[in-house]
Amino acid sequence: MKVQVQSKKGLKTTLSIIVDKAEIKKKLDTRLLELQNQIDLKGFRKGKVPPLVIKNQFGKAIYGEVIDRVLKESTTKAIQDKKLKVAGQPKIDLKTFGEGKDLNFELQLDLLPEIKLQSFEKYKALDYSVKVGKEVLDERLENLSKEYKSFEDKKNDAKSELGDQIIFNYQATVENKEFEGGKGEGVAIELGKDLFLQGFDKQLIGVKKNEKIKVTSTLPKNHPKKELANKKAVFNCEVLNIKSSKKNKLDDDFAKKLGAKDLTDLNEKIKNQITDQYNMALNSITKKEILDQLEKNHTVDVPQNLIDNELKSIPNNPNSNKNNNTESAKKRIKLGLILNEYGENNKIIVTEDEIKKEIQKQVKSMPGQEKFVFEYYQKNPSATQHLQSSLYEEKIIKFFKSKINLIKKELTINEAEKLITSFNENNKVKASPEVKKKELKPAKPKKISKK
């Protein structure tokens, strides 16, 4: 195989490749012998069909298959031998080919640019953290106390009030007929929360223990049995017990009910939870600060074919600004190339184990949908590839932060809120309609579950 650089202009390179006819004939003969053991033709025993007969019957198809393989192999070898970093798919222009002829073709390549990385000393960024004060912890504890109420029995002749817990049995009917799923025993509801059926709670205010009462309510429109959706139902209820809420004492016993070792441990869990709420948004602000500096401090020629492919992935919008879209695409690709160069130079990789751990992490955050998450990644290789790319980028940013001048800055929750809001507002203005970034928000707190 002969390889010559036909032309080179900027990031575009054309290679001229000639594969000798003798090499092609050798591969063709090898393929015919392989097919001899596979093809079954009338008049011949299996595995005994002469190669010449196979060639006469299937010659064009076999030659096409061999040429296709030769093109792929010679393209790969030429790129490797010339030590070229290719951006996107090469284009092949066949010049001469055919049985008994040399294969002559041109390989048109878009190359990745050479990037001269700047030293880490050029960079500095703010590394934010949130200070969780005593008043914030006390407020969160108080909210937990209200959320996880304790109840105690009321006197037998006491009437139920808003906020009380009622335990009752019921038998429901629709048009005087009982229905499947229309019976409940020992059901507990807190009056005023309206979690059972809309308007159900109000009808149980003012009842006493052991009292029997009929409650009328409308079944939900998404009822499992379509024929019962939006139907008026009568619930024959028997009140078993009435309990009033009592203020929780914020002590070690209360903490243990919520899965903590003691009150100190509970406070620590709450503190970590609040910190985690803000860390994701604040880390994104630091990351943006770093990326902006990376983009500013590097001059990179971006291959046009990568820009074109990126623009194709943006949904069409008649109100979009084409120039803004192009610049945004160019910036994203440029940053990707710079980060990748830092990653390769510092031997940063993402292992299969790390990908599996991240998927497991997602599974844990979506209880009840474990099977769906696993199947999603199994059936969508592109989703796994996207996950790998995200992990790779995060590892590079983490490494980068460990090398640059990172200035610690502690914020109050109020200051963190203002910073996040300001960041969102500034980026709303800069982002185009198609490339608008997701607004940063403190993550929702996870519930501290009762044991």
Question: How much is the pTM?
Answer: 0.67
Average pLDDT over residues 117-135: 92
- How wide is the angle at C-alpha 125 spanned by C-alphas 303 and 424, nearest 5°? 75
pLDDT at 77 over 70: yes
pLDDT at 429: 44
Beta bridge partners of 103: 19
pLDDT at 46: 73
Q: Look at strands 2-9 and 12-19 and give their pairing.
A: antiparallel
Structural domain for 267, as ranges = 256-430
- Asked which of 228, 246, 264 is the last residue of a domain, the reply is 246
Burial 407-434 (b: 16+ CB within 10 A, else e): eeeebebeebbebbeebbeebeeeebeb
Structural domain contains residue 99: yes
- Asked which of 88, 110, 132 is the last residue of a domain, the reply is 110
Domain with residue 195: its CATH number is 3.10.50.40
pLDDT at 72 over 50: yes
Q: Please, are residues 398 and 350 in contact by the beta-carbon 8 Å criterion? A: no
Structural domain contains residue 31: yes
pLDDT at 435 over 50: no
Instruction: Say how far apart CA 24 and CA 104 lie, in whole Å.
Output: 12
226 in the same domain as 304? no
When the pLDDT of each residue in the chain is averaged and rounded to a whole number, the result is 88
pLDDT at 115 over 70: yes
Domain with residue 52: its CATH number is 3.30.70.1050
Instruction: Say how far apart CA 116 and CA 345 lie, in whole Å.
Output: 11
294 in the same domain as 206? no
417 in the same domain as 271? yes
- Looking at the structure of the chain, the number of domains it has is 3
Structural domain contains residue 119: no
Structural domain contains residue 63: yes
